[in-house]
Chain A
Amino acid sequence: MNHAHAQHHGLGFFFGILLSLLALTGLTYVTARVWSNYVPDVLHVPLALTIALVKAGLVAWFFMHLNAHAPVNRAYFVLALCFVALMMTLIVGDAMTRLPTAEPNFPGYQEVRGAP
């Protein structure tokens, strides 16, 4: 609501946020591909999503001035994310508790399996 608050930050501050975003992009890449063997398999997805959420938070909070906007605007944004999270959890959770991952059923499968 208080717009003057956003003006306290100069361009240098926003440039710092940009550098953090670029560094986090590098971190996502490195943990997913370069050091992937040091990260347990179960942690790959949560780690990448956590980094993405932190990046999204930086963009929303500072670049989009959510820190200076009315609380109700924050509520809408967070609520929309919660609804997506709810939908995803229920649908994927349902699949994970009932269905196995796909069984091979394409013609070339045996060939691939038999390859050295």
Chain B
Amino acid sequence: MASNEAAAVELTAHADHFVDAAHERRAAQFGMWLFLANEILLFGPLFTAFALYRYLYRDTFAYLSAVHLDWKLGTVNTVVLLVSSFTVVVAGWAARCRRSIWVGHALIATIVLAGGFLVVKYFEYTHKFHEGLLPGKYFTLDLAHDVALHMESLREMGLNPAQMRIGPGASMFFALYFLITGLHGLHVVIGMGVLGWMAVRAYRGEFAVRNDTPVELSGLYWHLVDLIWIFVYPTLYLL
């Protein structure tokens, strides 16, 4: 067990080119926010493309979202990610209190929730592969037949297919669906890796004797994953 003196040395440790540990921490936070701003610019064009094609193919997008995306699964995943964001906050709080083991526990909880998110996504994806709801020429669903099948549920949702222009843009909807959720899913997987690494360090007791910057920054990454999903959920599943 590290003595208090050794712990104090660890807490004030910093690279030579920084004035002190606080300076190093601010630089690290600044760098992380720069990276997060870039991430926003990475997802921005995808949402822009979605907004453009949703305008052009409004009725088709409304139909496919209402009938072929499961709002229940979307909502479950929203709740899962929001709760996982909270468990990351708990990890950051434990790191500030130097309770390294609790950092580990909170991060494991986060990773389990992230795994749950991916399991739900797996079921959504396989269902779409099965129905031929794929981008471009791989889109094989017979739309006219499909609309006839869903006439009842459409009326229940207050949509009148006779007044809708359903058809063009259907494969575009799924191109954007897979691009946005796929890129987001990749971020979830990367986030699980980063948080897993932090959990290993936490169980080694590292965050009992050193500053919490690594936990805070990896937490910021995870919050961004949640932040993006907050916009994915209404745009894809509800509107």
Residues of B contacting A25 in the complex (Cβ-Cβ under 8 angstroms): 75, 78-79, 82, 233
Q: How far is the CB of B31 from chain A (nearest CB, A)?
A: 10
Contact call A73/B166, Cβ cutoff below 8 A: no
Q: Is B162 among interface residues, defined by CB-CB distance under 8 A?
A: yes
Q: B4-12, B34-42, B186-194: which one contacts chain A? A: B34-42
- Complex Cα distance, B75 from A72, in Å, reads 34
- Complex Cα distance, B68 from A57, in Å, reads 30
Residues of B contacting A108 in the complex (Cβ-Cβ under 8 angstroms): 142-145, 147, 167
- Complex Cα distance, B144 from A107, in Å, reads 8
**Which listed residue, A1, A6, A51, touches B234 by the CB 8 Å rule?**
A51
Contact call B48/A91, Cβ cutoff below 8 A: yes
Question: For chain B, what secondary structure do more than half of its interface residues adopt (helix, strand, loop), or is it mixed?
Answer: helix
- Complex Cα distance, B239 from A1, in Å, reads 39
**Which listed residue, A84, A109, A112, touches B44 by the CB 8 Å rule?**
A84
Contact call B168/A80, Cβ cutoff below 8 A: no
Contact call A48/B234, Cβ cutoff below 8 A: yes
Q: How far is the CB of B11 from chain A (nearest CB, A)?
A: 13
Given contacts A87-B45, A111-B144, A115-B147, contact A48 B238 (CB under 8 A): yes
Contact call A63/B89, Cβ cutoff below 8 A: yes
Q: Which residues of B contact A (CB under 8 A)?
A: 22, 25-26, 29-30, 33-34, 36-38, 40-41, 44-45, 47-48, 51-52, 55-60, 71, 75, 78-79, 82-83, 85-86, 88-90, 93, 96, 142-145, 147-148, 151, 157-158, 161-162, 165-169, 216, 219-220, 223-224, 226-227, 230-231, 233-235, 238-239
- Complex Cα distance, B167 from A90, in Å, reads 26
Contact call A45/B40, Cβ cutoff below 8 A: no
**Which listed residue, B56, B88, B238, touches A101 by the CB 8 Å rule?**
B56
Cβ contacts A73-100/B at 8 Å (1 or 0 each):
1001101110110011001100110010
Residues of B contacting A56 in the complex (Cβ-Cβ under 8 angstroms): 227, 230-231
Closest to B97 in A: A7
Q: How far is the CB of A5 from chain B (nearest CB, A)?
A: 12
Q: Is A40 among interface residues, defined by CB-CB distance under 8 A?
A: no
Closest to B37 in A: A80
Contact call B93/A104, Cβ cutoff below 8 A: no
